[in-house]
Structure 1
Amino acid sequence: MTLNSEISAAVGRLYDTYPFPPEPLLDEPPPGYNWRWNWVAAYNFCTGRKPESEAVRILDAGCGTGVGTEYLVHLNPEARVTGIDLSEGALAVARERCQKSGADRVEFHHLSLYEVDGLEGEFDLINCVGVLHHLPDPIAGIRALASKLAPGGLMHVFVYAELGRREIYLMQQALARLLGDRRGDFKEGVRLGRKLFAALPENNRIVQEDRRRWALENHRDANFADMYLHPQEVDYNIETLFELIDASELRFLGFSNPAYWQIDRLIGKDAELMERAAQLSERELYRTIELLDPELTHYEFFLGRAPLARWDWQDEEVLKGATAELNPCLQGWPSRSLFDYNYQIVELSEEEFAFLQECQGGKRTVGEILEKVEIDLDGVRSLQQRQLVVLSPKTP
């Protein structure tokens, strides 16, 4: 058995012992939404427009117990979804989860990411959350996934960041040493790890960080094992992250939490520092931001395969001819105070609220709505830029 296969087998044993994520199974669709898993919302975020079709193929690569898979099915009613994972135990839970909640447009396969070429055809959206950093060869993994991405498709990726996980890494290393030759016994690892946390002083930094950031989820053994006992983990920084991205030969479309990556929130009060920051390349700027704010525990971002054009809607006639509809990931509508696609509270003006009311049904053009609502084109652009409306350009 090769080293890579040994590691993959160990990862499989972990998730057979503790299927992950350990979320409860429901007899109805899961509550809320994650806009990154909604094809229309994600495509709009990446390109500035609505996709031409919602009848797409979606791959959940490393689906685990199917928490994300279930959302992908329910949030995309015209999509066909495929889930793959290397743990039979986790897949059994995923199948039961989707069956119970009525997520019936999904099929599951017992495959690793390296074996994804065994699936038929290509996918318009590939979701890969919390998996690549657990592979013995993440570059081979992302290349395998990239080979299955259709032209014009999106890949959503989540991997760990090293700076915000420093205390986790330290506990992983210490616990591994205390376990000795029983490192592969995950139940023993959870038992010993709980004792270790209980024995450490109250002011210990590892204890304090666990209580501040992880204690709520880590009361469940599956979460504790996934965090502190995983047999394979790679934590990234901006430099190594972009080595991974570049290896995919896909286009980097941006981080899905753009507010974190704004340097002005950190040094905006100093004009000289802002001027110096403006001279940095994009990647140097990203690296500077994470060094100055090392709380980041993961990177979440989108990659894409050409052709993918970015729409800015500056042409007035093109904007007036576009069909407008509500972003599918809004909560609290209809109200002037609601949660946007990212669960942030938005307070709408009377004019903005009136415009959004006219967008319901997605049948009217911006120009037609402007005949009824007192809002200018810049106001429409603001709604689009804030991901409150989704625009479809007029078909030639």
Structure 2
Amino acid sequence: MTSALRPTNEDDRGQDVIEQFYDRRPYPPPDDLDAVATPKPQQRRAAHHLVWPGRPYADRSGDSRLRILVAGCGTSQAARHAITHPDADVVGIDVSSTGIEQHRQLIERHRLANLELHRLPIEEVAGLDRQFDHIVCTGVLHHLADPLIGLRSLQSILAPGGALTLMVYATYGRAGVYLIQDYCLRLGIGTDQVDLDELVATLREIGSGHPISRLLHQSRDFADDDALADALLNPRDRSYTVPQLLELITDAGLRFGRWQRQAPYLPDCGSISETPHSARIAKLPVAEQYAALELFRGTITRHTAIAYAATDSGATTDSGPQQPDFADPAAGSWRPIRVPTAIAVTERLPPGAAGALLNRAHTETDLVSFVNAQELIMFRRIDGSRTVADLGPQALGFVERLFRHDLIVLDTCGASEQKGDRS
């Protein structure tokens, strides 16, 4: 689904419409980086193994420092990566001069010596003349005139064994957004304050049955004027279904690795697992399972995927792009690591359950895994150093369940990690 709100690429002065839009309406607002100024090593290790299960995590120095590119860094995203990865060299690029200037203020405030900025379109990123271990491009590709060209440009500077995290809008969950985008286009609504005030007043009258109603009450995309403008008045955006996104990744010379949060796309997680269709969906090819779950849920508003270069086999533990295979005989030596947003709830439980495990980052309320007393003990024993075998002889199936529910990531290196293993 594509809204009618993108008829041109340039304004009457020859400036790209997206560059002009974000210079006037910078979004998202700069993050409060004080809250993430002292990241815990275990959190950094979990983030590392989400992307590279088989690559040892360690603090780096000198030429071995991790190289991160934040492509379309907005007002603070590159600064967030720099402050949470002090052992990495971070580069942020964006077309918005306003976003770059707000980043410079964050550099000065937080003394971010490891952050470098460039006002540069993604399509021209090869001009940096360097490669990156991790490229982060979230909420940007869907605003480009040609997202495939942009993604191919990013793929061309991916270092061997590198990974690319990308987020694009999802079609079905944003159906209401595109209805109101076209409504605004027909009325000629702009981004001046009078038009925004009138739009806000009008949106208050939308009925609860409208497809946009849930987003109006739950999404930060409607929290202030700049957010409202970004969601409903952006001059160019598009969305992707699961098959369309997987095709985009393949056409760009990349290989899909996993969803950043995979449980919403899996037939054994959440309410779908309790239906007769769960087993039927599980018999489909994996990509078809993802597509079916997007249709079943209907409310996914964005897809965030981790991809690797298609030519990178990922077979060696040094590069480690390959995702865990639970049939691997070495699985007992893997180390589960709890994700920071995973919690165990022990109140208001159904009969027979000792706990409810959930990831607070999920927006889907059905993604809860109920556990018995023995499983709850195993979950609490997961500390990043114990192996699957250390948790007990029957732990592997439980660990796989936790992994698929986004409650843990896995260090599949096997042997003891380097000094970065300490938490």
Report the TM-score, using the length of structure 1 for normalisation.
Answer: 0.78
Q: Give the drift of 1:8.
A: 6.6
Per-residue CA deviations over 1:287-330 (Å, capped at 9, x if unaligned) read 2221221011010110013233444476667855x7x5956847
- Which has the larger helix fraction? 1
Q: Structure 1 residue 20 and structure 2 residue 27: aligned?
A: yes
Q: Which amino acid aligns with 2:216?
A: R
Residues 1-396 of structure 1 mapped to structure 2, 5 A cutoff: 4-6=9-11, 9-23=16-30, 25=32, 29=36, 40-51=45-56, 54=59, 55-66=65-76, 68-179=77-188, 183=190, 185-187=191-193, 189-198=195-204, 200=205, 202-203=207-208, 205=210, 208-214=213-219, 217-264=221-268, 265-271=270-276, 273-305=277-309, 306=312, 307=314, 308-312=321-325, 320=333, 329=340, 353=380, 356=383, 359=385, 375-376=391-392, 378-379=394-395, 385=403, 386-387=407-408, 390=411, 392-394=413-415
Per-residue CA deviations over 1:276-295 (Å, capped at 9, x if unaligned) read 42442222222222122101
2:331–2:412 contact (8 Å) kept in structure 1:
no
Identify if the C-alpha distance between structure 1 residues 339 and 153 changes in structure 2 by more than 3 Å, giving closer, same or farther. Answer: farther
Greater CA deviation, 379-388 or 69-78?
A: 379-388
Secondary structure at the aligned position of 1:71 is classed as helix
Give the CA RMSD over aligned residues.
Answer: 3.8
| Gaps in structure 1 of 5+ consecutive residues | 360-364
Report the TM-score, using the length of structure 2 for normalisation.
Answer: 0.74
Q: Give the drift of 1:263.
A: 2.1
Q: Which is bigger in relative contact order (C-alpha 8 A, separation at least 6)?
A: 2
- Counterparts of 2:377 and 2:294 in 1: how far apart (Å)? 39
1:162–1:235 contact (8 Å) kept in structure 2:
yes
| Gaps in structure 2 of 5+ consecutive residues | 1-6, 60-64, 315-320, 344-354, 363-367, 417-423
Q: Give the drift of 1:11.
A: 0.9
Per-residue CA deviations over 1:97-138 (Å, capped at 9, x if unaligned) read 233233331010000110100113100000001000011100
Identify if the C-alpha distance between structure 1 residues 210 and 3 changes in structure 2 by more than 3 Å, giving closer, same or farther. Answer: closer
Secondary structure at the aligned position of 1:151 is classed as strand
- Counterparts of 1:201 and 1:110 in 2: how far apart (Å)? 39
Identify if the C-alpha distance between structure 1 residues 123 and 338 changes in structure 2 by more than 3 Å, giving closer, same or farther. Answer: farther
Secondary structure at the aligned position of 2:299 is classed as coil
